[in-house]
Amino acid sequence: VSRSEAWTADVGDLVGSFSFTVDRADVWPVDWAAYLDDPIYQDPVVAEAEGYPGIPVPIGGLIFFSHLDGDWQSRAGIDYRRSLAAERSCELLGMIYVGDEVTGRTVVAERFEKTRSSDGVLLSFVRLETEYRTGDKIAMRERVLYVTPERTA
């Protein structure tokens, strides 16, 4: 696969947008699967007793691709047979709770290439940035860096 065929969204271009309501069924499996085992992520009564207005979404419990259409990968140039997420950062500007209406948009924030010194393989990097909003407030800004080996340089 040549690089020119691998993506269509350049830096600043929209990869996708989404809108959804956070469901309790999206939260408890994260708590359980990762062994967080904290009742604030399962029981609204416990969450409220801890001072939260509802069940909070655990850090890391939302990711941009959950609500994007399947074509985002080709626009971004992500191929699950070859691409790996290398970094993920989240700027947490507000809490997100079960029942919140969340909107978001994902853009290409950065593209660059490097040659891996160990074997000369050219690596393509793409950083996708997603803003999550609840109402008119930005609740989270997430950046995920994917790396894809392209070919021998």
Partner 1 sequence: MSDLPATLPTFRTAGPIDGTRMRFFARALRDPNPLHVSDEFARSLGMPGRVAQGSMTVAMVGYAVARVVGQENVLGLEVRLRGPLFEHRRVRVDGRLVDGTERPTYRCEARTDRDELLAEASVTVRQP
Q: Which residues would be at the binding site for partner 1 (CB under 8 A)?
A: 25-27, 29-30, 32-38, 52, 56, 58-63, 65-67, 70, 80-81, 84-92, 95
Reading the block at residue 35, the tokens are 């062994």
DSSP class per residue in 95-133: --BTT-EEEEEEEEEEEEEEE-TTT-EEEEEEEEEEEEE
Contact call for residues 76 and 146 (beta carbons, < 8 A): yes
Minimum CB separation from partner 1 for residue 11, in Å?
20
* Separation between Cα atoms, residue 105 and residue 46, nearest integer Å: 32
Minimum CB separation from partner 1 for residue 107, in Å?
19
Reading the block at residue 43, the tokens are 């029981």
* Separation between Cα atoms, residue 41 and residue 49, nearest integer Å: 12
* Separation between Cα atoms, residue 39 and residue 7, nearest integer Å: 42
Which residue number, 10 or 29, has a Cβ lying nearer to partner 1?
29
Which residue number, 33 or 119, has a Cβ lying nearer to partner 1?
33
Which residue number, 9 or 96, has a Cβ lying nearer to partner 1?
96
Minimum CB separation from partner 1 for residue 30, in Å?
5
Which residue number, 10 or 92, has a Cβ lying nearer to partner 1?
92
Minimum CB separation from partner 1 for residue 68, in Å?
9
